Structure 1
């Protein structure tokens, strides 16, 4: 079957790999000149089942109000005339009950666990390298109060299968010597040994080569998707800037742009862009962290990618604006200097901003949407890197009409 995958981010690339492995004739269409040039270009680098908690929760409204008065908070809102922002916000608030938060978190965790298995199996099968480290991730706190709240928060995930260790400041530094200089400033943390890190851009680039060489996947870079040609209940071709491309099935994996295309064919996919900022800084071999971490009080994540430090922060509602300015990285750099004295030269930082495709309940959507041969694989939010391979394998099972290896409850698209 000829399957056209729209989008060559890490989610689209994973889908293309599993579909091609199934024997399909796969074409990938991407508006950029290479894979992982949009949302997947520069994320936090965390493959983190430990970060599966749904954003929508009873505490979300309090956080939103606080953000209006504190410009240094991780959440920022730029008010807009876009009606889709207000509709998305309403849907988000409807997911903020404790019952919905728990249910959404459970679905995310199930997919994250499965996806971690898939990415490690894929790496073993292909031999690709992407500065991966399987040392776990530390979620740490600066006060006893926030540590107690964080440990309680993580216990819900632990009760559903995530291995965690609540650690004091001494054990924290034992696990991560890179934090020795700030031991007295930290209360402790939660260590998730099953979490890991890696560079999604390198992963996607390496996977592109595998798909070309082993499976003869056809990549159409520098090609813009204009729409879908539909006859009856099927998509017959994808309309692009380079002309129509025929298909037997289409997968929408376009990240934050997924909703824009879906609307053109009458499908409601409630994905909205949430901007995040990252900085990538070269560091010496003997300096900085040895594993991934999250400063939970300042809402700043980091990972070690070879001899690079990747910093990430902020969830900003600013529509499809990808611009940034130096002040957007002020708190990020200050925190990096605090945590790793002498390791960071911000003058050498490669700064970036990208858009996360967020669903109101933080759970991505998969499967058939309205038309018999149109499929979704989108809406992964801030954990697209974590969930990409599990989503791709799950989608390939759906397209092949196989029983999925993972329970599909909560993951399938509903009109």
Structure 2
């Protein structure tokens, strides 16, 4: 079967890889001159199944109201007239119930854990390297209240069979010696031993090269203009290189996916949530991370990537703007300096990207309603790198007519169609 994958980020490339493994003829289209150059380019670097948590949670409305008053808030909403943003925020708030949180987090943990297993297998089978490691993640708590709120997450982790440990400050420093000077601000931490690290862009580039060796064709610097459709199927993709056709089509365009579904009268509940990162060389090994941590206070991730440090985080609702905010950089630097400090911030590369977020936190992975040969693999939010191998394998299995290794029906767009 010939299959066109629209999008050459980490989601599109891993999907193409697994489709090629099944023997399909695969072509990947992307407007960028290379793979992984948008949201996959400089994310936080975490493969974090255990930290897979929906933003929509009980208590979020009150937290968000308090955050709006702080300069270094984890969440920023830029005032603008944007009906799509208002609708996203409304649907997000509707998911802030205890029941919805349990359902959504359990679903996210399911696909993320499966994705980790698939990534481990892929690494073992191919030998692919990407400045990665498998030393776990620690969620750092500065207050007793944060530890108390972690109890619900630990319950769900236990129900999902995911290993985790609640650490005191001394135990944290045992795993992350670079935090020794920050001991006075640490109350505790939640360690997730199975979580991993890695450079998503490097992974995407190297996997794309291996996919090409398997016959996958990459049509880069090619703008996708729209989809031609009949009443029940896609007939082709209009691009800057002409009209391209296939037997099946996979939409993996992240935050831009909804604009290609709108003419088909299908609404994808995805909104771009802007994130930022800094990447810099290590200057002091004694004050550098060993693996990866999340500063719960600022919602900032600090990750070791070989001889570099990646600091990533913040959530900004501002449409499709890619302007680099000085305030957001200050927040990243503040968290890093308080926790570690062993990197050269003056030479750091400052970057921003758009995370394709759904209101319930779960990606949309499965068939598109009404169009029998159109498949969706999008809406992974901050967890595209974490979930890529799992969602790519699920799409390949379903297109190939095979039963998926995990329950996957509730990952499709159908959950929003009722």
TM-score, with structure 2 as normaliser: 0.96
Measure the CA separation in 1 of the matches of 2:294 and 2:231.
49
Partner of 1:79: 79
Corresponding position of 1:262: 261
User: Equivalent residue for 2:25?
Assistant: 25
Aligned-residue offset at 1:150:
2.5
SS at match of 2:389: helix
What CA distance in whole angstroms lies between the structure 2 residues aligned with 1:334 and 1:90? Answer: 31
1:57 aligned partner: 57
CA positional deviation for 1:409: 4.0
Partner of 1:311: 311
Shift in CA distance, 327/87, structure 1 to aligned 2, threshold 3 Å: closer
Q: Tell me, what secondary structure is at the counterpart of 1:314?
A: strand
- Aligned equivalent of 1:4: 4
Counterpart Cα distance in 2 of 1:353 and 1:383: 16
| Contact 1:141-1:187 within 8 A present in 2 as well | yes
* SS of alignment partner, residue 413 of structure 2: coil
Aligned-pair distance for 1:70?
1.5
Q: 1:153, CA displacement in angstroms?
A: 3.2
Alignment of 1:227 onto 2:226: yes
Indicate the SS of the match to 1:43: coil
Paired position in structure 2 for 1:382:
382
Task: Rate the CA distance shift 1:144–1:86 in 2: closer, same or farther, 3 A.
Answer: closer
Q: Could you tell me how far apart the structure 2 residues matched to 1:133 and 1:151 are? A: 27
| Aligned mates of 2:385, 2:362 — CA distance in 1 | 14
CA distance in 2 between partners of 1:178 and 1:138 (Å): 13
Instruction: Report what 1:36 is aligned to.
Output: 36
Deviations 1:292-344 (A, max 9, x none): 10011221111100010000111110000111133321121122122223x12
Q: How does 1:210-359 map to 2 (within 5 A)?
A: 210-213=210-213, 215-284=214-283, 286-287=285-286, 288-341=288-341, 343-359=342-358
Give, in whole Å, the separation in 1 of the partners of 2:146 and 2:104. Answer: 23
Which residue number in structure 1 is paired with residue 127 of structure 2? Answer: 127
Matches within 5 A, 1:138-217: 138-213=138-213, 215-217=214-216
Gaps of 5+ in 2: none
Contact conserved, 1:151 with 1:190, CA < 8 A, in 2?
no
Partner of 1:367, secondary structure, is: strand
Tell me the CA shift for residue 123 of structure 1: 1.2
Distance 2:159 2:404 in 1: 24
Deviations 1:345-378 (A, max 9, x none): 2111000010000001001111111201001000
1:163/1:194 contact within 8 Å kept: yes
Unpaired runs of 5+ residues, structure 1, are none
Tell me the distance in 1 between the aligned counterparts of 2:381 and 2:7: 15
Provide the alpha-carbon RMSD of the alignment: 1.3
| Contact in 2 for aligned 1:285/1:307 (Cα 8 Å) | no
**Secondary structure of 1:410's aligned partner:** helix
For 2:223 and 2:158, the matched residues in 1 are separated by: 43
Partners of 1:393 and 1:18 in 2: CA distance: 6
Conserved in 1, the CA contact under 8 Å of 2:283 and 2:343?
no
Which stretch has the larger CA shift, 73-82 or 272-281?
Answer: 73-82
- 1:229-274 Cα distance to aligned partner (Å, 9 max, x none): 1134211211001111111111000000011111122111111000
Q: After TM superposition, where is structure 1 displaced by more than 4 Å over at least 4 residues in a row?
A: none
